Structure 1
Amino acid sequence: MPDRLTRLPFNSYDGKTDPVEHVSHYIQMMSLHSHNDALMCKVFSSSLGSIALRWFNGLRKGSIHNFAELIQEFRILFVTCSQVPQSVDALLSMKMRVGETLRGYASRYWELYNEIGGGNEEITTSTFRMGLLEDSRLKESLTKKPPNDIRQLMRRIEEYKRLEDDRLQRKGKTLMTNRPR
């Protein structure tokens, strides 16, 4: 093992989370040493929790010839923990809930959008707009003047979130002043 290799802060794989994400994180942490297959294999065990470490220690000597084989075996064993990525269709089914703020809807939408891995900007604008409530001023704005790109969409959403925040703040102040003492 290289003298300069310090103990890296690996996430410990518990056998319950997505193995693909774990391997991606491991490779990222080991990026300076990714050319050294033997080292990548040896250090991999230090990123494993008890269940996965038992599997690693149970591998027959000489059964793994390179890091790619090790990762393939790891993924095969823990395949049931793999997360199936959402498709763009999931954005089509996303709808703003009655009583939900634009801030809440936008937060849920972008979380799912990022989970999917982005996509076509036209589809993004359309699916966001379609999920808004029918009486939404933002929906009307996006329909009359569609944004040219995702940055414009995000700016417009921010503008309408600020307007909604101001309206809710004024409404809160009105309720406070109308309250009996």
Structure 2
Amino acid sequence: MATFDYRSSKRRSADQGVPSRFSKENEALRSSARNVASPFTDEILNAPNPKKFSMPIFILFDGTTDPIDHIYHIQLKMALNTNNDSLMCKCFPTSLAGPALNWFKNLSQGSIASFQDLCDKFISQYYRNKHPAKDVSSLFAMKQHEDERLQAFLTRFNLVKSMVMECHPSTAVQAFKLAMNRGTPFYTSLVVNTSKTMDELNERAADFFCLKEEEAANSRKMSIISTKEKSKAKIRQK
């Protein structure tokens, strides 16, 4: 005989009122959202979104970093939807935080009619955060410190090179060679066989680092073996 579960019955009764309660709350949220002044035009707000679109996770911009880098980040995340102008606009505010989000909320209602309008206003607001472009002379001004390891210097050199707007591949390699400490094994290998591009140089450096790590590991093994042999020799002498 089936038994009556009072707790299950009570839970079902409570759940029956959930849909209506949530529908009222959702309608209230939708109503309040419609009343919020938006800087986007009605064409953008009313444009339909793709059916299978999933919102990417953006790095939040709080007003302290490069605005052009952030726009590039948005475009990378939205690579499959960059042609959907209204969607690009509606997703952009979700990448803002703190003062930057307040800036967006204070834009004039209906003042943005395209993603280009939004980018122009965004860059104009945070232009001072833009990384200053460097020229080739900044690469030739670099110098590896006496106590700076090759891997750390290569990372520092690549960072500066990424800020140089125009630089011939062989010019960057020449600047790196001039900046290196003389007499090191990697410098000697570059003199004997010069790389044509920084990509090729970075690959050679990666192989060089792996070789050095392997040599260091073998050296440690040999040291351990030598220590054990010396201990055995002492025991035999005793």
TM-score range, shorter chain: 0.7 to 0.9
The answer (yes or no) to whether the contact 1:14–1:49 under 8 Å persists in 2 is yes
Contact 2:172 2:197 in 1 (8 A): no
Q: Which of residues 22, 38, 47 in structure 1 aligns to 2:70? A: 22
Equivalent residue runs for 1:1-181 within 5 Å: 1-2=48-49, 3-116=51-164, 119-150=167-198, 152-154=200-202, 156-158=204-206, 161=209, 166=215
For 1:29 and 1:142, how far apart are their aligned partners in 2?
Answer: 38
- Tell me, which stretches of 5 or more residues in structure 1 are unaligned? none
Q: Deviations over 1:10-47 (max 9, x none)?
A: 22210111111111111222233322322322222111
Deviations 1:114-162 (A, max 9, x none): 4437832221221111111233344344335433444553455456546
Distance 1:161 1:35 in 2: 43
Find the residue that maps to 1:116 and give its secondary structure.
coil
Give the fraction of aligned pairs with identical amino acids, expressed as a percent.
Answer: 25
For 1:168 and 1:133, locate their aligned partners in 2 and report how far apart those are by CA, in whole Å: 25
Distance in structure 2 (CA, Å) of the matches to 1:118 and 1:157: 23
Whole-Å Cα distance in 1 between the matches of residues 207 and 53 of structure 2?
A: 49
Amino acid in structure 2 at the alignment position of 1:95: K
Paired AA for residue 73 in structure 1: K
Give distance in 1, aligned partners of 2:81 and 2:204: 44
State TM-score, norm by structure 2: 0.60
TM-score for both structures, normalised by structure 1: 0.76
Post-superposition shift, 1:169? Answer: 8.3
Q: Structure 2 counterpart of 1:55, which letter? A: W
Gaps of 5+ in 2: 1-47, 228-238
The worse-fitting range, judged by mean Cα deviation, of 43-52 and 153-162 is 153-162
CA distance in 2 between counterparts of 1:169 and 1:108 reads 29
Deviates more, 1:104-113 or 1:72-81: 104-113
Q: Is the 8 Å Cα contact of residues 173 and 196 (structure 2) preserved in structure 1?
A: no
Do the aligned partners of residues 68 and 132 (structure 1) sit closer, same or farther apart at CA in structure 2, a change above 3 Å counting?
Answer: same
Structure 1 pair 32/81, CA: closer, same or farther in 2 (3 Å)? same
Where does residue 233 of structure 2 map in the other structure? none
How many equivalent residue pairs?
Answer: 176
> CA offset at residue 88 of structure 1?
2.4
Equivalent residue letter for 1:5: F
Query: What per-residue deviation string (whole Å, max 9, x for no partner) do you get for residues 80-115 of structure 1?
Result: 111113332221122111122223322322333344
Q: CA RMSD in A?
A: 3.2
Judged with a 3 Å threshold, the aligned counterparts in structure 2 of structure 1 residues 140 and 10 are, in CA distance, closer, same or farther, namely closer
Q: 1:118 to 1:154 in 2, by over 3 A?
A: farther
Which region of structure 1 is more displaced relative to structure 2, 132-141 or 48-57?
Answer: 132-141
